[in-house]
Amino acid sequence: MTVQTILIIVIAAVFGVAALLAIIRMIIGPSILDRAIASDVLLTEVLCILGADAVMNHHTEMLPVMLMIAATGILGTVAVARFVARRDRARERADG
């Protein structure tokens, strides 16, 4: 087993655990903003995994995808923070 193989296995394990923890936070919430942050982190991890794939397999087909994710990744978070979270607060008020 070469050093590269060991490094690739460790990188895959670290990325897997990181994505799993982000998904756990996305499930348990508690507020919609926590879920928005968790989905943002998960998207960033997808971006990093695409970069890691480019390094491991020595190809550059993923670079346009990375550019588009970097450019449009904020739209979901901004939409949630701007329009959905207000409704979240209104519902809390109605409950209380």
Partner 1 sequence: MTLDIVALVLVLIGAVLCLTASIGLLRFSDVPSRLHAATKPQVLGMMVIAVGIAVAMQSWATLAFLIPIVLIQMATAPISAHMVARQAYRNGSVDQNIMIIDELADDHDVQRDSG
Interface residues for partner 1 in 18-57 (CB under 8 A)?
A: 18-22, 24-25, 31, 33-34, 36-38, 40-41, 44-45, 47-48, 51-52, 54-56
Distance (Å, whole) CA 30 – CA 8: 34
Kindly report the number of other CB atoms within 10 A of residue 61's CB atom.
Answer: 10
Q: Do residues 66 and 53 touch, judged by C-beta distance below 8 A?
A: no
Contact with partner 1 (CB under 8 A): which of 17, 29, 61, 91?
17
Q: Does residue 9 belong to the site contacting partner 1 (CB under 8 A)?
A: no
Q: How many helices (H) and strands (E) does the chain have?
A: 5, 0
Residue whose CB is less far from partner 1, 1 or 60 = 60
Extract the tokens encoding 90. Answer: 């209104």
User: Which distant-in-sequence residues (6+ apart) come within 8 Å of 15 by Cβ?
Assistant: 45, 48, 49, 52
Interface residues toward partner 1, by CB under 8 A? 3-4, 7-8, 10-11, 14-15, 17-22, 24-25, 31, 33-34, 36-38, 40-41, 44-45, 47-48, 51-52, 54-56, 58, 60, 63-64, 66-67, 70-71, 73-74, 77-78, 80-82, 85-86, 88-89
